[in-house]
Amino acid sequence: MTLSQEQLDFFAEYGYLKHGAVLEAEELETLRREYDLEFQKAWENNSYRNLSASDGGTVEDNKKSTQKMLQITQLCERNIHFRKTLFNKRILDVIEDLIGPNIMLFHDQALFKPAKTGGPVPWHQDNGYWQCSPANLVSCWITLDDAFKDNGAMQVIPGSHLKPHRHDTVQEANRLQETQVAIDESQVVVVDLKAGECMFHHCQTLHYTQPNTTEHQRRAFIIHFMVPGTRRASGERMHIDFSHPLLRMSI
């Protein structure tokens, strides 16, 4: 096992776990370079979402938005370096300790908060969007820059994974649904990370990142893992394919 019993107990009780570095210095520099290239290409061909933009706006309106919470989903299908990161042994060893030895990709995403204009991500539970069953998916949130509260480090409510909460039902192109539960700010924990470090969190852990008004950009890459046999709310089973590869299996 990679995690100690103390770490396993912490995750089970609180629904998240701050972890050390999972990227070597050379890997970090490669992913930073490729991340910037992919966002530049996405910006040029409009193959991204600005989650802070007004719904219904034109592409130019979205680009001129005063806040930018930029998202690319399935970056692993665009770039081989991020595809390789899905199979990072340091990450998969932790995931195996948390969900078992048979591990599939649900999806990945890159979330970029530019310096000064980075928009927020509201309080939510991931499975409030996904509606997956069983609700035991785990995410690895990797930062390519030092992440602290003011530039968009993850903030969580410990123990909130033990109960699902209703989210807004508005379905708009760029609108992120928010949880309808009242947030007790006294319970909030900020998970500061150094570049190349990561945190793991349960799919029902309430989390949030605030606007980035600092001089420091915040580049994050998130991998969402599930067990084979996971189903959507419709009952549809998630099949193993190029979009949802089997990353590790024990027979």
Pairwise CA distance, residues 246 & 244, whole Å: 7
Domain with residues 5-53+63-213+232-239, CATH architecture: Sandwich (2.60)
Q: Which regions of the chain does DSSP assign to beta strands (E)?
A: 16-21, 49-50, 70-73, 103-113, 121-124, 138-143, 154-156, 189-191, 197-202, 207-209, 218-226, 246-248
Report the predicted TM-score, pTM, of the whole model to 2 decimal places: 0.94
Which residues in the chain show pLDDT less than 70? 54-59, 61-62, 167-180
Evaluate whether 142 touches 23 at the Cβ level (below 8 Å): yes
pLDDT at 183: 87
Indicate the angle between helix axes 5-14 and 89-99, nearest 10 degrees.
70
The Cα 41–Cα 70 span in angstroms is: 13
Identify the bridge partners of residue 179 per DSSP, sorted by sequence position.
167
Where in the chain are the domains? 5-53+63-213+232-239
Find the angle CA(223)-CA(187)-CA(213) to the nearest 5 degrees: 65
How many helices (H) and strands (E) the chain has is answered by 6, 12
Distance, CA of 182 to CA of 123 (rounded, Å)? 10
Q: Which pLDDT score, from 0 to 100, does residue 181 have?
A: 78
Torsion of CA 92, 94, 100, 102, to 10 degrees: 0
For position 174, what pLDDT does the model report? 45
Question: Residue 58: its pLDDT value, please?
Answer: 60
**Structural contact between residues 91 and 27, judged by C-beta atoms closer than 8 angstroms:** no
d(CA 172, CA 150): 28
Mean pLDDT, the chain, as a whole number? 92
| 81-126 per-position pLDDT tens digit | 999 999 999 999 999 999 999 999 999 999 999 999 999 999 999 9
Amino acid letter for position 221: F
Any alpha helices (H) in 75-142, and if so which ranges?
A: 80-85, 89-99, 126-130
